[in-house]
Amino acid sequence: VFAGAAREAVFSRPEVIRRINAEFVPLAVRATMANLIDPAGDEAEGRLYQRLKRTQVAPQGICVLNSDGQVLDWVETFENDASVLAFLDYAVQRFREHPAVTAPVAARRYMRYPTGRLPDVPDDPNPAAIAANHPAGQPCPALSRAHAAAPPGALAAALVGRSLDAGGQLSTDTVNQEHYVEDQFAIPADLQRAVVAAVDAASGRVRLPEGFGALCATYAFLGHIDVRPLDNPRGGSGERKRCEFWAEPVGAASPGLLRIEGQTEVTGDLAGAGGHHHQVQLAWEGFLTLDGNRITRLLLAARGTEALKYDRGQPLTPAGQPLPEVALLPGGRPVNQECGVHYGIIGTPVPGSAPEARAQEPPAAQPPAGNSPPAPEPARQLVGMLGPQFSIFLPEVQKELKLTAEQKQSLQEMLNGAGQGFAQFMQTVAPLPPDQREPKLQQFRQEANRAVGAALGQLLKPEQHQRLRQIVLQQEGLFAVGNPEVGGELKLTEDQQRRVTALMEETQKRFQALQEKAQAAKDPAAIHQEAARIRKEQEGKIEELLTTTQRARWKEMLGPPLPLKL
């Protein structure tokens, strides 16, 4: 929410825009880079990100640098609207005092400017200017990550949506996302092929695959990313109550052109502080142009109604007045509205995505309408893909650790970033064969765990950290004994360490053989039961290696069991 709230409350204000354009060099940096989750392109860029990471108040924020890349100031929120301009004055003055590297300069940090100052972070004792060029011929990796990009073969869909006023006219507010949204999403090649196959399968009017309408309905909503009714990054319940699209050829004079129409109704709910209720009902109309096995143009408009309640509470000043939006940037402000809405989607092929001849390959299998299994929540997906440390993002773990609202908010922002970073990574490696994909996934997993571990080190209290470690060990089971840190705590002998290593290698081989068998049988689901059996058997062998004292210590390290639904 921070990015959207800052865009609305700070960077859309005319006087702020004028001051930034006249007195600063504006730089937009993705938090995944500034938090060292995505790799930097070279040493100079990496040093700058390390400075940002070392001095930051939170994973997202506003920072002022001098022209040699020394961090002068960080700010997270502002006391009021006037404080934003006062901060710009302050930042200019700080820059005049320290325009370039001459000596160490401590980073001044504000949770809220000007009253919420945090301890300074000292500079490097021997600060050096950061080079202002990438090595010759090396492109800046931040440029390619700066904008959303659909993968090759996809249809890039750009969505715009506006609320309607009581008279049915477009709202004049085009800044706040509960009234105006722009978004992008990709219609993948396999879904395009399924649409073509559905059209080819019958003459006249045909029903389109549910995945097509589901995708459109997922993105057509007002508000920031955290109030998405379907597949919400924070979890909660989402339901497609209605989703049907129909297509009909326009006529022989316009080959490949189809008129489409549809009806969708979706709801989403997330309970508790910061939760939401969201309901969107839309009637769609538009056109599809097909060429070969691809959609080459999509035009869709929708009208309907929308109800949105975002309940983050209404924090008050000591005087009992509502806090201004600039004081609420990490979580945004409450929203409660019911209105008419109007959406539009224009889809164009990603450059280089030439259509192939139609019906060269079978269409992707579509799940029966209404029977598709619910997708796992993003946090649970990350636990499954990246490891048990990511269970910190699960609500039941956060409850067990008795996290504060601020800690939960910080974790939510981390989860959003981690989810987006992982999705982008998977898009990059998806086309690779398994033997090339797995090492990259392993490297990503290690880097993500390192970055999250470092962030949790700052965020959690010692007793919370201790309990999280117990929960992580419960998920890893006795395979954690292979970790030198855990093995050290259990005081494994050299012989025990060697035998544990051998057992883990044996386990790895058995899992690999099982995976190959399942792939050959084209039935990945069949391996789960067998994998559980192998795991139990191998863990039993490790337990047999431990002494009575070591087993007792291992039990202590696990703490009280916390079953997780993964």
Q: Which of residues 501-560 bind other proteins (CB under 8 A)?
A: none
Q: Kindly indicate which of the ranges 22-30, 433-441, 485-493, 514-522 contains the residues binding other proteins, using the contact rule CB under 8 A.
A: 22-30
Ordered DSSP codes for 305-338: EEEEEEE----B-TTSPBPPGGG-TTT---EEEE
Interface residue with other proteins among 28, 201, 357, 430 (CB under 8 A) is: 28
Q: Which of residues 463-502 bind other proteins (CB under 8 A)?
A: none
Q: What is the dihedral of CA 216, 182, 378, 311, to 10 degrees?
A: -110
Enter the DSSP assignment of 347: E
| Residue 26: exposure state from Cβ atoms within 10 A (0-12, 13-18, ≥19) | exposed
Q: Can you say whether the dihedral through the CA atoms of 98, 454, 456, 375 is positive or negative?
A: positive
The distance of closest approach from Cβ of residue 484 to other proteins in the complex, given in angstroms and rounded to an integer, is 34
Q: Which of residues 405-424 bind other proteins (CB under 8 A)?
A: 413, 416-417, 420
The distance of closest approach from Cβ of residue 512 to other proteins in the complex, given in angstroms and rounded to an integer, is 36
Q: Which of residues 169-198 bind other proteins (CB under 8 A)?
A: 170, 174-175, 177, 180-184
List CB contacts of 339: < 8 A, sequence separation 6 or more. Answer: 163, 164, 165, 171, 305, 306
The distance of closest approach from Cβ of residue 410 to other proteins in the complex, given in angstroms and rounded to an integer, is 12
The distance of closest approach from Cβ of residue 459 to other proteins in the complex, given in angstroms and rounded to an integer, is 16
Nearer to other proteins, 71 or 492 (CB): 71
Buried b (16+ CB within 10 A) or exposed e, 439-452: eebeebbebbeebb
The distance of closest approach from Cβ of residue 70 to other proteins in the complex, given in angstroms and rounded to an integer, is 10
Interface residue with other proteins among 54, 117, 205, 536 (CB under 8 A) is: 205
Q: What angle do CA 335, 340, 341 make, to 5 degrees?
A: 85
d(CA 418, CA 378): 10
d(CA 382, CA 401): 19
Q: Which of residues 263-292 bind other proteins (CB under 8 A)?
A: 263, 283, 285-287
CA 373 to chain centre: 22
Nearer to other proteins, 180 or 444 (CB): 180
The distance of closest approach from Cβ of residue 468 to other proteins in the complex, given in angstroms and rounded to an integer, is 22
Which tokens hold the place of 296? Answer: 């080459």
Q: Which of residues 231-260 bind other proteins (CB under 8 A)?
A: 242, 246, 248, 257, 259
Nearer to other proteins, 325 or 413 (CB): 413
Nearer to other proteins, 297 or 309 (CB): 297
Interface residue with other proteins among 36, 38, 45, 355 (CB under 8 A) is: 45
Q: Which of residues 287-346 bind other proteins (CB under 8 A)?
A: 287, 297, 299-301, 342-346
Nearer to other proteins, 423 or 566 (CB): 423
Answer yes or no: are the C-beta atoms of 205 and 248 closer than 8 Å. yes
Interface residue with other proteins among 15, 21, 82, 405 (CB under 8 A) is: 21
List CB contacts of 396: < 8 A, sequence separation 6 or more. Answer: 562, 564, 565
d(CA 303, CA 341): 6
The distance of closest approach from Cβ of residue 198 to other proteins in the complex, given in angstroms and rounded to an integer, is 13
Q: Is 386 left (phi over 0), alpha (psi -120 to 50) or beta?
A: alpha
Q: Which of residues 61-80 bind other proteins (CB under 8 A)?
A: 61-69, 72
The distance of closest approach from Cβ of residue 349 to other proteins in the complex, given in angstroms and rounded to an integer, is 16
Q: Which of residues 126-165 bind other proteins (CB under 8 A)?
A: 130-134, 140, 142-143, 146-148, 160-162
